Amino acid sequence: MSQRPTIHHIPVCPFSQRLEILLALKGQSGAVDFSVVDITKPRDPALLAKTRGTTALPVLELPDGRILKESLVILRFFDEVFGDPVRRADPFEHAIENMLIAKEGPFTAAGYLFVMNQDRQRRDEFNERLLALYRDINGFLVEHNPDGTYLFDRFGVAEAVFTPMFMRFWFLDYYEEFDLPAGEDYDRVREWKAACLEHEAAQQVSFEEIVKNYYDYALGSGNGALAEGRSVSSFNFEPDWRNRPWPPRDKYETHASDAELGLV
């Protein structure tokens, strides 16, 4: 068995990217082995036994066989065991960063429900729901660091948690023409989001990779499920996303075939 911990993961999964970002921030990218799981295939029984039947990834396996699940739990564990802590040292500031992290679940759900929505009549409703969450985060950042860029003085744990979602939400820019409206209700979160997206520790995925891989989500099929009439998932590793054409943007009108997506 490897002497380093192993993360079993899906390469394009946002929950796994937050771990990669934290390790990169700490200069500890080599401290962990990453083992790729293909969610379009039946799960390896050996891994299922280790997780006692659950399939959600990432999963951390320590060299002695102990298992940890849940990306936020693994993130905090990594922050404690490798290198200097990224978390705020001051207990109150740490609580503030945890308050922001607590907003990530509803934010993620709103973005994914929006991209998966298939009813054009309800488009504005999903758009407004996500904008309300952006305004809430804007207010939080204005309250705690009105003149800064990040929540505190540098890219920290909250940024590692949110950045992978900002990147996944590129699927909304592409398939829903989503854009933060102009104005002060969004200016602070706009600045935060832009700084998160361009941080050097967070460059594991690209706009093109997200847009192509998440096409099936835009048709309402999540987590490697197959859309109607298709035999290959847009998450397939082969052919490589770089060699596939851009999917059609009009998700409400057009459903591209395996061939049109360059998947066969």
| Tokens linked to 248 | 């059609």
| Residue 109 within binding range of ligand GAZ, rule CB under 6 A | yes
Least Å distance between CB 11 and ligand GAZ? 11
Least Å distance between CB 108 and ligand GAZ? 5
Least Å distance between CB 206 and ligand GAZ? 17
| Residue 108 within binding range of ligand GAZ, rule CB under 6 A | yes
Whether the Cβ atoms of residue 117 and residue 126 lie closer than 8 Å to each other: yes
Q: Which of 95, 41, 65, 15 is nearest to 236 (CA)?
A: 41
Residues 3-32 that bind ligand GAZ (CB under 6 A): 10, 13-15
Least Å distance between CB 10 and ligand GAZ? 5
Which region among 66-74, 89-97, 148-156, 245-253 touches ligand GAZ (by CB under 6 A)?
66-74
How far apart are alpha carbons 124 and 127 in whole angstroms?
5
Contact track, ligand GAZ, 226-255, x by CB under 6 A: ------------------------------
Q: Which of 196, 264, 221, 192 is nearest to 39 (CA)?
A: 221
Cβ of 218: how many Cβ atoms within 10 Å? 26
Looking at 33, 36, 44, 55, which residue binds ligand GAZ (CB under 6 A)? 55
Whether the Cβ atoms of residue 7 and residue 74 lie closer than 8 Å to each other: yes
| Residue 133 within binding range of ligand GAZ, rule CB under 6 A | no
| Residue 75 within binding range of ligand GAZ, rule CB under 6 A | no
Whether the Cβ atoms of residue 84 and residue 71 lie closer than 8 Å to each other: no
Q: Which of 58, 193, 175, 183 is nearest to 126 (CA)?
A: 175
Residues at the contact surface with ligand GAZ, assessed by CB under 6 A = 10, 13-15, 39, 55-58, 70-72, 108-109, 112, 223
